[in-house]
Amino acid sequence: MALVNLFHVLKRALIVTLFTHSLWATTMVIAVHPSSSINHLSPAIIKKLYLDQQQLIDTIRPLKLSLPYQDPLRICFETKILHMKKEQLQLYWLKNRYLGFRPPKVLASAQAVALYIQKVPNAIGYLPLKTAKQYGLKIVYQWKCEDEDKN
């Protein structure tokens, strides 16, 4: 009897875990001002922009926005798009800042990023799809961020 109850408890725990895990999946986007002439960016271009290895898209000099270091969404962006861990990125900026490279401007939240993009036509940032849509931003790239990407 105890074994049967244990089985049911474990079965429920597995179902809850699977359901909860799907709730942690977040669709992330790179967004720009609605009037921007930028329509699509590849992950390679996004990486070059965010590492300041490319300063222009056509004639636009994007103002890159980022989230705080410990934000799970930033960790996902660094993992999925930049293919770098926090320590690698810090070392990159430590070395390259003296060569004139500029790191992205850090804002406190995804909502702050969205508001900044709304107000500044050449701003570009990463944030959840839901937030980008809520603020009427143009989406130029999107990807999935799973829970394990944010840790």
- The token duo for 14 is 């597995």
CB contact at 8 A, 141 and 41: yes
Residues of 62-95 as b/e, b for ≥16 C-beta within 10 angstroms?
A: bbbbbbeeebebbbbbbbbbbebeeeebeebbee
For residue 139, count other CB atoms closer than 10 A to its CB: 16
Digit-by-digit pLDDT tens for the chain (151 residues) are 655 555 554 455 444 444 434 446 899 999 999 999 999 999 999 999 999 999 999 899 999 999 999 999 999 999 999 999 999 999 999 999 989 899 999 999 999 999 999 999 999 999 999 999 999 999 999 999 987 555 5
Task: For each of the domains in the chain, give its residue range(s) and CATH number, in order of start.
Answer: 26-150 (3.40.190.10)
